[in-house]
Amino acid sequence: MASGNAIRGSRVGAGPMGEAERGESAPRLRISFWCSNGHETQPSFASDAQIPETWDCPRCGFPAGKDEENPPDPPRTEPYKTHLAYVRERRSDEDGEAILAEALAKLRGEI
């Protein structure tokens, strides 16, 4: 038995949207960008938009440029440093020995 709901399975506003409802689309340009891994990406820009010099590669995340022969260099990542590495940058071995001797003397009750 039919339920009497004639628009069952659809929602308000559903239906094909054409340019008549959305308006005309702006003229577009597709610009090629290449990363240092050789990936090419072609984002679409409005014809009157300012085109950026670099674009992030969607495949590897490296910066991509408009010149295929000379893509931008990948970013240089610094390795993780431990707390001890930062301390060694600030203090020499002699400074460390002096601080250790002072701390040991304090523990022994000599100071």
Binding residues for Zn(2+): 35, 39, 57, 60
Annotated binding site: 35, 39, 57, 60
Max alpha carbon distance in the chain (Å)?
99
CA distances (Å), origin 84, targets 15, 38, 96, 103: 64, 39, 11, 17
Q: Other C-beta atoms within 10 Å of 65: how many?
A: 19
Residue with tokens 């054409």, as numbered in its chain? 18
How much helix, strand and coil, in percent to the nearest 5, is found in the chain? 25, 15, 60
